[in-house]
């Protein structure tokens, strides 16, 4: 029986939730919270109801607490409200979206590190994702500024810093501490563009808001040296990950060899973070004129993906 509380964030994909619950049955968590966004229309309502039916598959000795929106709130508000609700009841826990399928190592890894860094207020996030296909050093994890949220864990003490309005951003982006945090000019341009849009709610993302809040409070993230989460949500139904091609680094996960090897020093791995910025976020391609080359490359390599992205933009 697994004792760390788990929050599952769901919407309208019963097939993905079913796969996650089948896996969770192996470790048998004793407490699961489920937060679901409401339907946008009649067709959506059927799918949302199907999600509620899938929850009945949690048939082991487990306390299940649910919280479903009657109407659709959107990704940003529904998820952040769900995590607020979760941490109003728990001191620490694991957060999984319905398309994030962990492996066996993930849960033990989270349990060990949630307890190890419980009182260390510098550590904000324990991520289960690694998007690099590279090993950094001889330890099983390193410290990063990037709080990847495809399967992660944290504490109430960290989440209390979440500010959905990003009220600090207009002032902070002009301060030296912001420039010091992102010394690379390209990185500053990229993140300023992202955070400007997110603060004005032009991007429906709770995760970018959370990143800004973690950075503002000088929080660090623990990143595993292997990927512990398989993302099974790369399809046309996804809010952000609409790429129909299976990307190996997001779909593949690996197990740890125990016992867990811990770093001796709590220090950001700047080389690893630089690699993430250039290869995962592809930061330079969000800026002009490089953005133009990126758009043309998508059209040439994957015209179907380009059409899907345009359709999603038109629906907003």
pLDDT at 172 over 90: yes
- pLDDT of 163 higher than 90: yes
pTM for the structure as a whole: 0.87
How confident is residue 91, by pLDDT bands cut at 50, 70 and 90? very high
Between 58-62, 114-118, 191-195, 295-299, the lowest mean confidence (pLDDT) is in 295-299
Q: Indicate left, alpha or beta for 159 from its phi (over 0: left) and psi (-120 to 50: alpha).
A: alpha
Q: Can you give the pLDDT at residue 86? A: 98
pLDDT at 309: 57
Report the pLDDT averaged over residues 143-166. Answer: 97
Predicted pLDDT at 184? 84
Counting residues of the chain whose pLDDT is more than 90, the rounded percentage is 72
**Are residues 7 and 94 in contact, defined by beta-carbon separation less than 8 angstroms?**
yes
49: CB partners within 8 A, 6+ apart = none
- Lowest mean pLDDT, pick from 174-178, 191-195, 220-224, 281-285: 281-285
Phi, psi of 125, rounded to the nearest 5 degrees: -140, 145
Looking at the predicted structure, is the pLDDT value of residue 89 above 60? Answer: yes
Domains of the chain in start order, with CATH, are: 1-98 (3.40.50), 282-316 (no CATH)
pLDDT tens readout for residues 174-203: 999 898 888 888 889 899 999 999 999 999
């Amino acid at each position: 029986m697994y004792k760390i509380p788990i929050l599952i964030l769901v919407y309208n994909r019963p097939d993905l939730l079913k796969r996650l619950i089948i896996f969770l049955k192996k470790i048998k968590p004793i407490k699961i919270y489920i937060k679901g966004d409401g339907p946008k229309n009649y067709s959506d309502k059927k799918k949302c109801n199907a999600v509620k039916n899938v929850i009945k598959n949690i048939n082991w000795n487990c306390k299940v607490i649910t919280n479903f929106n009657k109407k659709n709130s959107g990704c940003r508000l529904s998820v952040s409200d769900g995590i607020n609700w979760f941490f109003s009841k728990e001191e620490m826990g694991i957060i999984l979206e319905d398309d994030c399928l962990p492996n066996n190592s993930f849960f033990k890894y989270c349990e060990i590190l949630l307890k190890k860094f419980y009182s260390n207020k510098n550590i904000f996030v324990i991520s289960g994702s690694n998007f690099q296909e590279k090993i950094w050093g001889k330890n099983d994890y390193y410290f990063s500024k990037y709080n990847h949220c495809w399967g992660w864990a944290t504490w109430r003490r960290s989440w209390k810093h979440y500010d959905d309005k990003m009220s600090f951003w207009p002032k902070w982006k002009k301060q030296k501490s912001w420039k010091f945090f992102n010394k690379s000019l390209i990185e500053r341009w990229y993140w300023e563009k992202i955070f400007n849009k997110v603060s004005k709610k032009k991007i429906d993302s709770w995760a970018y808001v959370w990143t800004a809040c973690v950075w503002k409070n000088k929080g660090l993230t623990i990143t595993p040296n292997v990927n512990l989460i398989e993302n099974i949500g790369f399809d046309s139904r996804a809010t952000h990950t609409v790429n129909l091609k299976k990307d190996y680094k997001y779909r593949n996960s690996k197990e740890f060899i125990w016992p867990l090897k811990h770093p001796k020093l709590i220090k950001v791995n700047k080389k690893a973070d630089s690699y993430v910025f250039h290869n995962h976020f592809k930061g330079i391609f969000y800026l002009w004129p490089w953005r133009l080359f990126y758009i043309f490359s998508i059209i040439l390599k994957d015209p179907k993906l380009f059409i899907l992205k345009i359709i999603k933009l038109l629906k907003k």
